[in-house]
Amino acid sequence: MTLIAQVIVDVPSRGTDRPFDYIVPESMQGWLEVGSRVGVPFGPRTLQGFVIGLSGTSETPAAKLKALQELLDLVPPLSEELVELSEWMSAKYACHRITALQSMLPAALKGKAERYIRVAERESWVGEDSLFDATASLLTDEEEQIISHIQKQQEVRMELLSRRFGEQAHIIKSLLQRGILLESRSIRDKVQKKTVRTVSLHLPEDEIRTIIEEFPAKAKRQQEVLTYIADTGGDVPLKEIMTVLGVTASTVKALADKGYIAIMDMEVYRDPYQDRNFTPTTPFTLTDEQQQVYNSIINRINKREKGEYLIHGITGSGKTEVYLQCIQRVIEQDRQAIMLVPEIALTPQMVERFKGRFGDRVAVMHSRLSSGERYDEWRKIREGKSQVAIGARSAIFAPFSNLGLIIMDEEHETSYKQEESPKYHARDVAIHRAHQHNAVVILGSATPSLESYYAARSQANDEFMPTLLEIHGRALGSELPAVEIIDMREELKEGNRSMFSRPLHQAIEDRLEKKQQTVLLLNRRGHSTFVMCRTCGYVAECPNCDISLTYHQRSNSLRCHYCGHAEPAPQICPECGSEHIRYFGTGTQRVEEELAKLFPGIRVVRMDVDTTTQKGSHEKLLNQFRDKKADLLLGTQMVAKGLDFPDVTLVGVIAADSALHLPDFRAAEKTFQLLTQVAGRAGRHHLPGEVIVQTYNPEHYSVIHASHHDYHSFVREELKHRQILGYPPYCRLALITFSHEKLALLVRIAENYTQMIKDQASKLDWLGSLERFSNEALDVLGPVASPIPRLKNRYRFQCMIKWRGDMDVAKLAEHVAEQLQDSVRDKELLISIDVDPQVLM
C-alpha cells in the first residue's frame, strides 16, 4: 500500500495555505512521522515542508502526485501536539499554517533549497563529444580542473563552486549542459551542527591493555596517549589529549592508522553558560502565605490534573520561590515545566536562580543567543536532556512531550503578545497547550492584567477561569516603600524649570551622601523627543513615518524609533537657515547629562535599548551597579522589572505621565503597572525604601492608587471605565490595519472593508444559530487613521471590531480581507488582522 503524506510547504501565501499530498518513498517509511520536516518538489522548485498528516489515500489524482524528496531530521522537530497547535493558531490568529509552524521552531530549522553539483558517470556524458571514445581527452585543462575538484568531494554546493571558479561560470554551465556535471537541489539548514573531534577505542579494552603493554619502546608518546584514552574510557576530545599530554594530532592519528582508536566528529551542544559557575541553591522555607498558595497548586499537580491559577503577589512577595518549588515537584513526577518571563526580565539574576536550583536541566532561551546556541538549547529540550525551559514569549513552544506546568511571570506584560504574524498571545497558547497535557498554568503578577483578574473574579469564560491566589506580604518582611507624588506644575510655578523637582534633587543628594543607591526611570530613550527651529517652527520629522525624530547625542544624529532612519543633526534650520535650533522634551541621554551637571562626580549607569544591544551588555551594566561601581541606575522600563539590589533605597520616576495620554484604552492600566513595578525596586531588603513620582497629573487615579500600592481600588475604578466605554474585559477586540503607499486608495479600501464587515455580520450565516446571536453583539468602529498615520513610507488606516460572545471574528475578518484583496489585486495593499490586540498602533 502506498503511504501518502500531507505536507504544508514553506510558501506563506493564500493559495498555498493548505496541505499538499506526496507519496512517501519506501526508504522513508518507518522514519517519517507527523511532524517530520521534509524537502519536497513543488512546481519547478524544491521547498521545505512539514508533514501534518499521513494516510493511505489521496484525493489528488495519482498522476499528479510526486514523491517526498528528502527527510531532513532523524527526530521530527514537531510533535503531533504542536502540529495540532499550529492548526488552532492559524484559525485563532488568522495566519498561514506555515507561519504558525515556523514560529514554533528555532530559525536554524528554516532550511532553503541549495544547488549541489556532482560529476556524472562517464558513460552518460552526452553531446557531440561522446560519439568518440576519447571524450575525456577533449576536455580543456580548465574543465579537467573543475571536474577533478568536484570529484574529490563527491558533491559541491553551487555557491562554493562559483566562489572558487567565479570567472569560469560559463564553463560550469557548459559542463552542465553537456551532462558531464549534474545538478540536484536539496534543503540546507541555516546552522551547522557543532561538532568536536573525539577519540574512542576501536578495540575491546582488554585487547588495548595488551597492546599498551607490548608497545614498541620507540613510540613512547603513542603509548601514553593510548593509556590516557583507555583510562578515561573513551570518547575523549582530541583537544584535551593534545593539551593534557602535550602531543600533536599526528601522534594520535598514528594510533588511528594502526586501527587501535577511531577519530570521529561528535555532535555537541553549544552551551552559552559553559564558562559560568552557578551557586547551587536549596529551597527556602516558605512564608505562611506562600505555603498556602503552594499547597493549593501542588494539590492539583499531584493529581496530574489541569488547572489555572492567577497569583496576585505584591512586588517582593517571593513568587519566584513558589514557582521554583512547584517546578521541583513536576520534575520529580518525570514531567516538564516551562517558565515564561518577559524578555527584559530574563536577567542574569533570573537565569542564575534557575541554573542554581536545577543546574543542567534548565534550557534558557532568549533573543541574545546566537541562532546556533538557540538551536542547541531547543534540541536539549526536544531530545529530553532538559526538563525546564525558561525563556521569553516563544519559549511557550518548547517541544516537551509531557508538560506538567507552565508558569507565566509578570503575566500582564504586553510583550507576551507577538506583534508580527502570527499575532499570538503566549497566555492563550499556554492555556491551550496545558489542556492538551493536563498541565497546570500559573499566571503571576503584582499587577495582573484586567483580563485575567476579571476572568478569575467573574468566571464568565468557560475556557479560562483561573483560581485567584493572593500574597499580601513581602517574603523578607520588609515594608512597601512610601510613595511621594510631586506635582510638576507646582514646581514650574515656583520657578523650578529643571527636570528634577526639589524633593527628588534633595533625595538623590541624600543617597549620594549615605552611599546608598538610586534607580531612576524615564520611559523614553534618546536625548530629546523632538527638534524644533525657534525661528520658523520647523520640526525634524522622519521622511518615512509621520513621527518626529529623536536627537541622539552620542552619535550627534536624529533617529526614528519606529523605522530606524538616522540622519546627522542639523546645525542650522534646513527650512529657514536660522541657527536657533532647540531640543525639546527629555530622554534618558539628556537626563544623564543633566545628572552630571547637577551632581558632579555622580557615577551613572544608563540602561536602555541604545546601551544594551551588544551581547552581554545588559549583564555588564547590572553587575557594575550591583558591585556599587555606580550610584545611580538610569533607564527606560527595563529597569522596572525584577531587579533586586539590597542597597537601592530610592526610586525616582521622572515623568509618570509619559504613557498616560497615548491613544490606548490601556494607558491607565499601563501607567499603574509601571509605577507599581518600579516602586517595588526600592527597599526590598533591610533598608527602608522611598519612591518619588513626578507627574503633571497628580490627581489621576492610576497615579494615586499606585502611590498607595492599592491594586484593588485601581481595578475597581478601571473596570468601571472599561464597562462604560465598552472595552475589554467586557468585550473583545480585533484591530484591522490597512496600509498602502497611496492614501486615496487606502481610504477607499478601508471604508469598503468596514462596510463589508457590517454587511456580512448582519447576514449571520457564518455565525451559526440565530439564538446564539441574540446574546452576542458585534460593532465595527472606523475606519480612522492609525495613531502612527504613516510608517515606513506607507499610510495606515484602521478599523476596530468589538464583540461579545465566542464568535469566530478572526475568520470573518480574514474572509472579508480575502474578498477585498481579490477585488483590488494590488500586491501593495496589506491588511493585518490583530485579534485581542495589546497595543492599538
Partner DNA sequence: AGCACGCCGACT
Partner DNA sequence: GTCGGCGTGCTC
Binding site for DNA (CB under 7 A): 11-13, 15-16, 20-23, 40-45, 58, 60, 64-66, 825, 827
Within 10 A of 279 (CB to CB), how many other CB atoms are there? 8
Q: Is 533 annotated as a binding residue?
A: yes
Q: CA nearest 229: which of 255, 266, 268?
A: 255
C-alpha cell read off for 798: 484602521
C-alpha cell read off for 164: 572558487
Closest distance of CB 803 from DNA, Å = 29
C-alpha cell read off for 664: 490606548
First to last CA, the chain: 54
Spatial separation of the C-alpha atoms in residues 295 and 284, rounded to whole Å: 15
Surface-to-core class of residue 173, CB atoms within 10 Å of its CB (0-12 exposed, 13-18 middle, 19+ buried): exposed
Closest distance of CB 20 from DNA, Å = 4
> Which of residues 60 and 333 has its CB atom nearest to DNA in the complex?
60
Closest distance of CB 543 from DNA, Å = 26
Within 10 A of 676 (CB to CB), how many other CB atoms are there? 25
Whose cell is 506580604? That residue is 473
Contact criterion met (CB below 8 Å) for 157 and 115 = yes
Closest distance of CB 19 from DNA, Å = 7
> Which of residues 64 and 763 has its CB atom nearest to DNA in the complex?
64
> Which of residues 43 and 259 has its CB atom nearest to DNA in the complex?
43
> Which of residues 44 and 204 has its CB atom nearest to DNA in the complex?
44
632-635: strand order across its sheet = 482-487, 690-695, 648-653, 517-521, 632-635, 604-607
Closest distance of CB 827 from DNA, Å = 6
> Which of residues 163 and 825 has its CB atom nearest to DNA in the complex?
825
Do the bridges between strand 307-313 and strand 440-445 make them parallel or antiparallel, or are there none, so unpaired? parallel
> Which of residues 66 and 534 has its CB atom nearest to DNA in the complex?
66
Spatial separation of the C-alpha atoms in residues 481 and 487, rounded to whole Å: 19
Spatial separation of the C-alpha atoms in residues 616 and 619, rounded to whole Å: 5
Q: CA nearest 228: which of 210, 204, 252, 207?
A: 252
- The sign of the CA dihedral 694, 695, 698, 704 is negative
Spatial separation of the C-alpha atoms in residues 412 and 666, rounded to whole Å: 11
Closest distance of CB 178 from DNA, Å = 21
Do the bridges between strand 336-340 and strand 388-391 make them parallel or antiparallel, or are there none, so unpaired? parallel
> Which of residues 66 and 615 has its CB atom nearest to DNA in the complex?
66
Closest distance of CB 406 from DNA, Å = 34
Backbone angles phi, psi at 298, to 5 degrees: -70, -30
Contact criterion met (CB below 8 Å) for 767 and 773 = yes
Closest distance of CB 13 from DNA, Å = 3
Q: CA nearest 674: which of 342, 427, 340, 338?
A: 342
Closest distance of CB 38 from DNA, Å = 11
Closest distance of CB 46 from DNA, Å = 10
Backbone angles phi, psi at 66, to 5 degrees: -110, 170
Closest distance of CB 173 from DNA, Å = 16
Closest distance of CB 41 from DNA, Å = 6
Q: Is 326 annotated as a binding residue?
A: no
Closest distance of CB 43 from DNA, Å = 4
> Which of residues 304 and 792 has its CB atom nearest to DNA in the complex?
792
For 22, 25, 28, 64, 70, the CA distances from 2, given in Å and listed in that order, are: 10, 8, 12, 15, 17
> Which of residues 12 and 237 has its CB atom nearest to DNA in the complex?
12
For 153, 178, 496, the CA distances from 146, given in Å and listed in that order, are: 12, 14, 78
For 6, 63, 66, 69, 207, the CA distances from 59, given in Å and listed in that order, are: 11, 11, 13, 20, 61
Q: Is 560 annotated as a binding residue?
A: yes
Q: CA nearest 307: which of 482, 502, 439, 448?
A: 439
Closest distance of CB 60 from DNA, Å = 4
Q: CA nearest 248: which of 221, 226, 223?
A: 221
> Which of residues 26 and 257 has its CB atom nearest to DNA in the complex?
26
> Which of residues 509 and 818 has its CB atom nearest to DNA in the complex?
818
Spatial separation of the C-alpha atoms in residues 647 and 778, rounded to whole Å: 53
Burial state string for 26-40 with b = 16 or more CB within 10 A and e = fewer than 16: eebeeebbbbbbbbb
> Which of residues 110 and 194 has its CB atom nearest to DNA in the complex?
110
Closest distance of CB 265 from DNA, Å = 33
> Which of residues 38 and 547 has its CB atom nearest to DNA in the complex?
38
Spatial separation of the C-alpha atoms in residues 235 and 266, rounded to whole Å: 9
> Which of residues 40 and 719 has its CB atom nearest to DNA in the complex?
40
What's the half-sphere exposure (Cβ side, CA atoms, 13 Å) at 302?
Answer: 7
Surface-to-core class of residue 123, CB atoms within 10 Å of its CB (0-12 exposed, 13-18 middle, 19+ buried): exposed
> Which of residues 47 and 199 has its CB atom nearest to DNA in the complex?
47
Binding residues: 533, 536, 542, 545, 560, 563, 573, 576
Binding residues for Zn(2+): 533, 536, 542, 545, 560, 563, 573, 576
